[in-house]
Amino acid sequence: WYSLSARTYGSSDTLSFLADRFDNGYQFRVIVTFADGEKITSDAATLTVVDPYISKDPQDKTAAPGATAEFTVEVAGGVSFVRWQVSKNDGKTWSYLSTWTYGMSETLSYKAVESADGYLFRAVVACWDGTRLTSDAARLYVKTVITTQPQNISVAEGGKAVFKVAASGAGL
């Protein structure tokens, strides 16, 4: 394999590498040399390195106090750095919650407390070209939730019917 910039990349039927912005626009071809010295050359194929973009924004979550809520962002078009932010005043101001992490899908795990009800969470993505993308915000709802629903039962006439339910949250 050769790029048309005369850089040699390998000698197999497959060329695989992690592309970066400096590879954008390069054309690649293969030259096959037979034992008798005859050569054939493939057509050139062009590599386009696309700008990263947010392919999946975090979604609103409901969690009981003390439970963990998870927010996930997915980035396409290249591996990027992700950092999470929180707003405690409905998006007027934002502060960072995490350090930068490297990947295409990042999840924030946040322990829900009653005072966090209504907080907004979003991801900031640092792209290879120096730009930053910001995901849509997702809201955390912290409330008492039923964790075990009552189940259907059958009893004989005169028998004791017992239904149970379990909930998680404050004030129970």
Enter the tokens of residue 121: 């969470």
pLDDT for the residue numbered 122: 97
pLDDT in tens, 84-133: 999 999 999 999 987 777 766 689 999 999 999 999 999 998 877 778 89
Q: Are 65 and 142 in contact (CB under 8 A)?
A: yes
pLDDT in tens, 8-30: 556 677 888 777 778 888 888 88
CA 81, 86, 87, 91: dihedral to nearest 10 degrees?
A: 30
pLDDT for the residue numbered 87: 98
Enter the tokens of residue 44: 């050139």
pLDDT for the residue numbered 170: 64
DSSP-derived 3-state class of residue 93: coil
